[in-house]
Amino acid sequence: MAIDRMSVCYVTDDGTVPAVSDVSFRLSTSERLAIVGESGSGKSTLALALAGLLPRHVAEISCESARIGGRPVDLRADKSVIPRRREGVSMIFQDAMTSLDPVASISHQFRTVLKAGSGLGRAEARRAALNWTEKVGIHEPERVLRLRPYELSGGMRQRVMIALALCSAPKALIADEPTSALDASVSRKVMDLVLGLTQELGTALIMITHDVDLAREYTDRTLVLYRGEVQDLCATAELMSPERSSYTQALMRCVPRLGDHALDVLPTLTTSSLPVLETVP
Amino acid sequence: MSWYQRNKWWMVRVMRLPVDVFVFATLAFFLIRLLPGDPVSVALATINQPKTPELEHNLRIQMGLDGSVWDQLLRFWGNLLHGSLGTSLDTHLPVTREVLDRLPATIEIIMLGLGGAFVVTMVLGFLYIRFANEGLRRFIRLTTGFATSVPVFVVAIFGILVFYVILGWLPAPLGRVASGQSLPLVTGFPLLDEVLTGNFADLGQTLLRYVLPVGAMILTYTPNLLTQFVGGLDRELAQTATRFQVAAGASRQWIYFSVMRRSVSSVVVIFGLFFGSLIGGAVTIESLFGFGGLGQLGIRAVSTADFPTLQGFMIIIVVFCLVMFVAVDLVNMWLDPRRRPGVSSEES
């Protein structure tokens, strides 16, 4: 995946409002990229635009050039009311409860994805669905496939969502705060699962997060976003290096450490008061 | 899960129906008796006979108004269990027969009018999410603005004026077939009977005469249903569930279907409400076009002070509304299992 100078503007009644400007990055097979930033820094917008989930009446996207899986793609927003999927890019969201179709059975949700993606027949799709539910660590896949999302626990739903997103073997998986809704122990298991499966499939991973620790543990490189602009794009291990931009250094200082007894008050980002989008000059 | 557990949700709901009917029929019994004036004296006043105490007494027995209220209630319950609602004072026919003779024709016209509005709503809703054409979408949103703003009889009268009086394209609004002819009677549903008896010339006539009333109903009720549908669609389009279906690569047909299915429940509710109210309320359309129907029976019962018929009419309408509400509940529980009793949707 190679993105060059991509910008996203939201369409409002009073004209367009820039949300992401001039973002460029490259991502090779199986590489893992973290996009970190505060709330409102444009990281989710960037993710939605990459996945093709912003329809044209919502946002305008411009890009100098973009290639996914070696093929050039047109990142411009789709005209349809329900946007079309960006070929080869899957996305998972924070809350699996609201992400899954609340009333369709799990097996049905697998079938519609497998049928559209790989043209599998009913029996083949069922086998593939069983295989995938097992792969994401769900016991009794036969039983779970018959259930509907509201009959599953939060962790199970998250696993089902991951399986659904990956069963079409996408070139890239975008994970938007994939574990914020889960507690710490489940969150780590889910991340290990995502990591293992993407490595196995050769799928590149883009992880949107505000959790710097999570980024450090699970990604190779990190893109720091502030007000829709790239502050830094570097190896995740070098985030703490003094060569980083002043914003990144300030952001890193806000990450609390165990054993940091000297701190009575957690540091906050004083340099940044994120303005409302419209008032950004 | 056993068969019983899997099917409990609808069986419980259906079994509640007779209880509801019983309660509401009893309520109707008391409501009718709360009306001011004595129906017996009203009836006496309209009878061209010398008013003797025997006549009054006989009339009272005929109406089921002799004895105390509690005696009457017990007799009313007994008759209800036998499916009897008394005898019409006007025609001396059983009220159940009077009602059932007219009910199918009324149901037919409502099914066509309201069912047509439902189909048009689904089609417009599909176009609304399928095509991004701003003009089309604006037109659909504009249509919803007409909800409840124009009564059905205004549209119908306007239609009669234009298509019968001015253009002369459609036959006179004087019944289902040309005057002098009569409808075959098998099931009581006019169109169905014409098909069953192979009377296709009449079928054509009736269909032609249905164009205006059914068209008027579709025009009037579509905006009401569409308002609900477009609201639901707009809400569901913005849901993460829709986004994830796209992002995971589900087929387009499935996404359209899923979005529509998640949006349709409030349309079903409104459909059920209209259906129930139209059972008696279709009378405006039926009178305008010279169709006999249930509503006319009710009006006749009021004007002739036909007390048992009025009571029976009310109970049948109540029963019908209740059946409709059960149907609405069942459809919605089938569409969304989270609505079924005992299913918790939120555990986390």
Lowest mean pLDDT among A108-117, A166-175, B31-40, B248-257: B31-40
How do residues B84-113 score in pLDDT, each as one tens digit?
888 887 888 888 888 888 888 899 999 999
How do residues B277-314 score in pLDDT, each as one tens digit?
888 788 888 888 888 888 888 888 888 777 788 888 88
Single out the residue in B33, B55, B81 at which a domain terminates: B81
| ipTM reported for the complex, 2 dp | 0.87
A103 closest CB neighbour out of B251, B252, B336? B336
**What pLDDT is stored for residue A261 in this prediction?**
58
Distances in Å between the alpha carbon of A274 and those of A23, A57, B227, B330? 19, 25, 39, 50
Residue B89: inside a domain: no
Residue B109: inside a domain: yes
Report whether B89 contacts B43 (CB < 8 A): yes
Indicate yes or no: CB of A112 within 8 angstroms of CB of B129. Answer: no
Q: For position B169, which CATH number holds?
A: 1.10.3720.10
Kindly state whether residues B171 and B73 are assigned to the same domain. no
Kindly state whether residues B105 and B198 are assigned to the same domain. yes
Residue B88: inside a domain: no
Q: What is the DSSP letter of B65?
A: -
* Whether pLDDT at A124 is above 80: yes
Residue B299: inside a domain: yes
Indicate yes or no: CB of A53 within 8 angstroms of CB of B131. Answer: no
Q: What is the largest CA-CA distance in chain B?
A: 85
Single out the residue in B53, B81, B109 at which a domain terminates: B81
A115 closest CB neighbour out of B137, B251, B346? B251
How do residues B313-327 score in pLDDT, each as one tens digit?
888 888 888 888 899
Taking the Cβ of residue B259 and every Cβ of chain A, the question of whether any pair is shorter than 8 Å is answered with yes
Kindly state whether residues B222 and B77 are assigned to the same domain. no
Residue B202: inside a domain: yes
Nearest chain B Cα distance for residue A87, angstroms: 8
Share of chain B above pLDDT 90, in %: 26
Kindly state whether residues B55 and B200 are assigned to the same domain. no
What CA–CA distance (Å, rounded) separates B113 from B220?
9
Kindly state whether residues B159 and B124 are assigned to the same domain. yes
A90 closest CB neighbour out of B131, B249, B335? B249
B21-27: Cβ within 8 A, 24+ apart: B21/B318, B21/B319, B21/B322, B22/B80, B24/B315, B24/B318, B24/B319, B24/B322, B25/B76, B25/B80, B25/B315, B25/B318, B25/B319, B26/B73, B26/B77
How do residues A182-207 score in pLDDT, each as one tens digit?
787 888 888 999 999 999 999 999 99
- What is the domain range of residue B16? 11-81
Kindly state whether residues B162 and B199 are assigned to the same domain. yes
Kindly state whether residues B121 and B270 are assigned to the same domain. yes
Taking the Cβ of residue B258 and every Cβ of chain A, the question of whether any pair is shorter than 8 Å is answered with yes
**What pLDDT is stored for residue A257 in this prediction?**
67
Single out the residue in B81, B109, B132 at which a domain terminates: B81
Residue B1: inside a domain: no
Kindly state whether residues B298 and B182 are assigned to the same domain. yes
Kindly state whether residues B186 and B311 are assigned to the same domain. yes
Kindly state whether residues B22 and B132 are assigned to the same domain. no
Residue B150: inside a domain: yes
Q: Give the list of residues 6+ apart from residue B144 with CB closer than 8 angstroms, or none.
A: B223, B226, B227, B230
Higher pLDDT, A69 or A140: A140
Kindly state whether residues B73 and B116 are assigned to the same domain. no
Report whether A249 contacts A242 (CB < 8 A): yes
What CA–CA distance (Å, rounded) separates A48 from A60?
12
CB pairs A-B closer than 8 Å = 108
Higher pLDDT, A50 or A266: A50
Mean pLDDT (whole number) for B23-34: 85
B244 closest CB neighbour out of A117, A153, A161? A161
What is the count of structural domains for chain B? Answer: 2
DSSP string, B227-274: HHHHHHHHHHHTSHHHHHHHHHT--HHHHHHHHHHHH-HHHHHHHHHH
Kindly state whether residues B201 and B326 are assigned to the same domain. yes
Residue A92 backbone phi and psi in degrees, to 5? -120, 155
* Whether pLDDT at B126 is above 90: yes
What CA–CA distance (Å, rounded) separates B237 from A55?
11
- Letter for the amino acid at B95? V
Indicate yes or no: CB of B338 within 8 angstroms of CB of A82. Answer: no
Residue B92: inside a domain: no
